[in-house]
Chains A and B, each alone.
Chain A
């Protein structure tokens, strides 16, 4: 049951992703890469869950490493995007 529910969400989200990305202007494809990259850092939620419910130290260590990596991904991704978009905004005002 839960699998069908998940699958529904998955497929519908693919369609949303498809249409939303077609709407992105080619000039902003580089920021699109880094924004979606930062967003894919959402795996951190999975890492947090496995870390909190870890049965052994080994699991905990693996999960904490995953939390760390995803965190780098999120912060790095958003920082890079912000800088890139700042470049585009700067001369818009001019």
Chain B
């Protein structure tokens, strides 16, 4: 326990800086300043704590602090922008594990409140192993459907009950050994719960794991009676939870459904045999695009995989500069593998922030657009979400690309998306399929546009 009163003041100041830091993210102009405020808050809190501590093992502490800092900095600066979802997942995991280890240390010292520490052990442990699994999925070490087996939900409920039992056992018989068992159970639980989840549900999982690392920190804060930890942990926990809810709302699924139902178990019920999808060449596409007044580009995870954002930006700027076409980008909230994934990639490719629109701001404009260019996206454009109550997509807000005069789908094949639901738009009379790799197709269009 720390008695210095000035330290409370420092913590309060740090807490305010953290709030302002997140507040800064309300617009791109203030966002960078927000990040600096966050760093300043962290510096204050850590330095204040170091000054207030007895100086018996400062050297070791500094060594741990510095080596961690070096590892983090190198990782953070070296990681490719395309690998950001994985990076964020792994960092979440480390934060969770850190909380869990502190919990263990407190139990070992024997002066901890069992309830509060158990929260850190349980939430931190689950966040850690869950994040590692999420990392494996995002890095494609584990396939999207890897780790699914029959009766999985039943098994997971069983495991959850088992975890609850170990938790109760730990509360009633607190010891270091039992704490380790609880941590192991939490780790196993995190793996089993996250393992079957993949693909388009990833943004939600990332947000949930982020929230968990916050809640775990708050748990440690309670047991150490440390205001800074409680305040910040709650801030991050609540923030991550809200974000998860924003994402689930954008998919019209509940968090429960994301965790425990598998969309791809179902297959599409659409009879595709009768109609034929029309395919076109990049030359046709270039012709229609250059003669359009307004083109709306809809990127999806396929763009990220193909690394097509740079060539896409080139196409957009040629269209607007050379052919005077009004080009806009439409982003669905759950496009990609983490919240805001598409926005980062487009920003990397220097697409102006003002040209990028969120779903609710652009959906009306498809009706007045001459062409929609859907690149590597599928489920988020599926009109079945509006019309077919039996579809797993039903109720999910989608981008109305079908209302544009011509719709281009850049896709490898007619295969259905993550949700396993066929997209009737592929067979619509105003749809042209451009088969192939997202980057290659766009490159070919750009070539034609540059030539003519």
Contacts and interface: CB of A to CB of B under 8 A. Distances in A.
A36 B105 contact: no
Contacts of A41: 42, 95, 98
Contacts, number: 384
B84 A25 contact: no
Interface in A67-94: 67-92, 94
B84 A80 contact: yes
B75 interface: yes
A58 B110 CA distance: 13
A46 B242 contact: no
A18 B19 CA distance: 11
* Binding site secondary structure of chain A: helix
Contacts of B45: 42, 45
B269 interface: no
B65 to A, nearest CB: 5
A49 to B, nearest CB: 6
* Binding site secondary structure of chain B: helix
Most buried by B among A20, A76, A90: A76
Nearest to A20: B22
Contact of B340 (A23, A29, A52): A29
A89 B344 CA distance: 11
Contacts of A35: 21-22, 25, 34-35, 38
Interface of B: 2, 14-15, 18-19, 21-23, 25-29, 31-32, 34-35, 38-39, 41-42, 45-46, 49-50, 53-54, 56-57, 60-61, 64-73, 75-77, 79, 81, 84, 87-88, 91-92, 94-95, 97-99, 101-102, 104-106, 108-110, 206-207, 210, 213-214, 216-218, 220-222, 224-240, 242-243, 246, 331, 333, 338-341, 343-344, 347-348, 350-353, 356, 358
Interface of A: 2-3, 6, 9-11, 13-18, 20-56, 58-60, 62-92, 94
